[in-house]
Structure 1
Amino acid sequence: MNSTTPQFERLVWLNFAQFRLTYKRLLLPISLIVLLLAEATREIVLTSLSDAFWAVASYVALTLALYHYLSRFFSGQHYLVTMYHRSRHYQVMFAALLGALPGCGGAIIVTTQFVSGRVGFGALVAVLTSTMGDAAFLLLASQPDIGILVIAIGIVVGCLSGWAINAIHKDDFLRPAQTHQSFRARCCRNRDRHIEQTAINLQGTFWKWLLVPTTLIASVNTFQVDVNQLLTLPQQSIEWLGAILIIISMLLWSVTKEINDYESTVAEDHKTTASHPMQKAAQDTNFVTAWVIVAFIAFELITFTANIDVSTTLANCGAWMPLMGLAIGLLPGCGPQILVTSLYLSGVAPLSAQLANAISNDGDALFPAIALAPKAALVASLYSALPALLVGYSYYFLFER
């Protein structure tokens, strides 16, 4: 009996492993379908999903498509990277500009260049201070004037912070010994799976064909025109269409990446340089949209089930809001930062919290920094928190108190 027990346990484990949830992100679209079918939550979830698709995802997709097509046009020699001067002063300025580019690509470039000895520690602090990650896409798509303002403030603060650090530390401060394997090479290993690539291709096709019509419908909605009435459709037809389309996009997104740890949860999906701009735009759009959905649904369900007015509750936090935005900004990855931006766009979080979060957050750039130069990453992140504290509370006391 004892000799057969290990074999029995092994057989049970193998059978269980066959049914394990490989793509844990499937929990999101499955949960959305369940909530949408449940009569008690249907109306709330339908409205939230419709708003997330027509008011957020469609505009984000358009913004990202334009961005990636322009990036493809100008990325031949990495124009800004080639303009680096040996001067520490100009290194900081161009690092801040690269960090200000929406997404995390520019910040990751500077982070890896610091490790390889091509830029100094001041440039690392500048890029981590100015970067806003994927949350910049959401802010630019929803409130372009505020988005440009926040990015501009990030550039100025990033430059000032980098120059101040140059006055304190040498370029090689906390730089580790060079490694022979890049962060990108490690994190992108074994990602050429057929099912994932098929889903990525379908994401690109999905937004390729829907980009123009969804943008047109979203634009009409922006002007407070009832699209159902305009097209003589039954009531809530457009709302249901938005909910169905966003669930389809989430189903495609959920099988493009496995969730193994914190990084794979909150970091954007890795894209190859050979990917079509529309595929890149689709991947980024669905990543941003997923976190927006989490914020919208959580906000509405908490308000509904607990009978709590989240807006009033957070508004009562008053002077603590910039500090809360700053604290979340210290978390690596773009996901938590998109939640903060979603709360700001919903009118729940004030602009002071958004500013503090935008300056303190390092997006996905903190992951390669932690992997390649953990001490430098920690100190640089703490340095970026100081101007975030100053800017956030300056705006709070000047305009919101």
Structure 2
Amino acid sequence: MDTASHTSKSAKAVVRYEHLPSFTSALLKNVFFPHLTNKRLLMPLFIAILLTYNSTRAVTLSVLSDAFFQVAAFVYASLALYYVATLRVSAEAIGNYMKAHPVHEVGLSALLGALPGCGGAIIVVTQYTRGVTSFGAVVAVLTSTMGDAAFLLLAQAPLDALTVMAVSVTVGAMTGLVVNKFHNYQAPEADGALQQSQNCDKPKTVSHKAISLSKVFWMIASLPSLAIALGLAFQLPVHSYLAISESTLTLIGAALCISSLGLWSLCGSGSGYASITKEDLIPPPPKWQEKAALDTQFVLAWVVLAFLMFELSVVWFGLDIAGLLQSMGPGLVGLAITIGFLPGCGPQILVTSLYLNGAVPFSAKLGNAISNDGDALFPAIALSPKAALIATVYSAIPAFLVGYGYWYLFE
């Protein structure tokens, strides 16, 4: 593309935004427009536009503050504890144990899948492509995993999270054993493909400075935010203790949330679907502080999206999302299960947020947890597309059985 053509297209794009307020127009032209290849920047851009207008400013500030104090503060605390506890867990040691104890591999794979995040599932998938584990182990881990949505559910509804995990492990192990008995599909070893898949996020597309800033931001903000979040959770007048107004506390929470979302948008390439719906970098961050910060920001971004979808549907269209979804009846369970087929943890975090807001029943959440494969589906597709497709189909069967079984028996 020549310079004149590029300049002409840029001018036309800027003209489209002339009807917006001057602040938003300047933001578009000077900050976002030169970097629109990073789709993550659309999130803070959208929020900036919402804050510009009087009709959406109050609800947006409330959503941002609630998402930060009610969700992100607890998620970071649980992530930090989890990553510190698993700091010395070696993926190679797990692979060697599974190879030496093939009888235990399906059950162990189901347990690895139930661990919050996608690390356990990715271990099993990569070991399978190297011929270490069976296909039943892959089906078991993909069936039991809930991905990063597990952190959100653990932080907000721990008893529900433990129930979902227990059911997922049981169903995953049973499904894996059945698959091994009747269709233990063996994919060709794909170490070359593994190496190629690990280069999907090139270092030059990731801002290492933004990652460092994210770590510092959360190291400073985590404890004060958690203290405020606990006070709000116990319905204490936190703003009175801090000698500020309630609106000022909302502004503080919104500002912290916007800062975190801005860092999230700069910590990934944002160049495709995978970069938006997952957070794991290749190679993964070497320090738990960085990984906890990045994963918290990722969960926060999708939670904010879900909260805004809820509130703006009322402000703009007068819709009741919860009522609309619940009117679907048993079809809602099928919708949640279908969303689970989408690779990545982002859509699954959205479903979990809807569940926590009372928009979807427990049966739908349960079906989604079983059907979703989290971030592990990305390396599975890259390493062995046929195995990934078959495993997804097999995991769909127990998802429909359990989801609809719970619906008809208990709801």
TM-score by length of 1: 0.92
User: CA–CA distance in 2 between the matches of 1:135 and 1:146?
Assistant: 12
Report how many residues are paired: 388
CA contact (8 A) 2:190 2:384 kept: no
Q: Is 1:289 equivalent to 2:303 in the alignment?
A: no
Q: Which runs of 5+ in 1 are unaligned?
A: 1-8
User: CA–CA distance in 2 between the matches of 1:272 and 1:373?
Assistant: 20
- Shifted more, 92-101 versus 19-28: the winner is 19-28
User: CA–CA distance in 2 between the matches of 1:116 and 1:285?
Assistant: 32
Which of these residues, 180, 185, 195, is aligned with residue 166 of structure 1? 180
Q: Deviations over 1:1-49 (max 9, x none)?
A: xxxxxxxx61225556893523221121122122123110112111111
Q: Is 1:44 equivalent to 2:56 in the alignment?
A: no
CA contact (8 A) 1:183 1:368 kept: no
Q: Is 1:372 equivalent to 2:387 in the alignment?
A: no
Which of these residues, 187, 197, 203, is aligned with residue 175 of structure 1? 187
The alpha-carbon distance between structure 1 residues 185 and 228, as it changes in their structure 2 partners (threshold 3 A), is same
Q: Is 1:35 equivalent to 2:47 in the alignment?
A: no
CA contact (8 A) 1:132 1:359 kept: yes
CA contact (8 A) 2:340 2:368 kept: yes
User: CA–CA distance in 1 between the matches of 2:299 and 2:143?
Assistant: 21
Q: Which runs of 5+ in 2 are unaligned?
A: 11-32
Q: Is 1:24 equivalent to 2:35 in the alignment?
A: no
TM-score by length of 2: 0.90
- Shifted more, 25-34 versus 384-393: the winner is 25-34
Cα RMSD, aligned residues only: 1.9
Which of these residues, 338, 342, 365, is aligned with residue 354 of structure 1? 365
Residue of structure 1 in register with 2:251 after alignment: 240
Q: Is 1:141 equivalent to 2:133 in the alignment?
A: no
CA contact (8 A) 2:50 2:56 kept: yes
- Secondary structure of 1:236's counterpart equals helix
Residue of structure 2 in register with 1:122 after alignment: 136
Q: Deviations over 1:257-290 (max 9, x none)?
A: 1122222221223154552211100000000100
Q: Deviations over 1:203-246 (max 9, x none)?
A: 00000011111001000000111211232312311111110000
- After TM superposition, the structure 1 = structure 2 runs for residues 302-381 of structure 1, keeping only pairs within 5 Å, are 302-381=313-392
The alpha-carbon distance between structure 1 residues 274 and 31, as it changes in their structure 2 partners (threshold 3 A), is closer
CA contact (8 A) 2:197 2:382 kept: no
User: CA–CA distance in 1 between the matches of 2:232 and 2:282?
Assistant: 32
Residue of structure 2 in register with 1:394 after alignment: 405
CA contact (8 A) 1:352 1:395 kept: yes
- After TM superposition, the structure 1 = structure 2 runs for residues 175-254 of structure 1, keeping only pairs within 5 Å, are 175-183=187-195, 186-188=198-200, 190-192=202-204, 196-254=207-265
Residue of structure 2 in register with 1:12 after alignment: 4
CA contact (8 A) 1:321 1:352 kept: no
Residue of structure 2 in register with 1:100 after alignment: 114
Which of these residues, 83, 88, 92, is aligned with residue 68 of structure 1? 83
User: CA–CA distance in 2 between the matches of 1:63 and 1:13?
Assistant: 50
CA contact (8 A) 1:269 1:287 kept: no
1:186 deviation in Å? 3.5
Q: Is 1:268 equivalent to 2:312 in the alignment?
A: no
The alpha-carbon distance between structure 1 residues 77 and 267, as it changes in their structure 2 partners (threshold 3 A), is closer
Q: Is 1:53 equivalent to 2:53 in the alignment?
A: no
User: CA–CA distance in 2 between the matches of 1:320 and 1:302?
Assistant: 21
Q: Is 1:298 equivalent to 2:290 in the alignment?
A: no
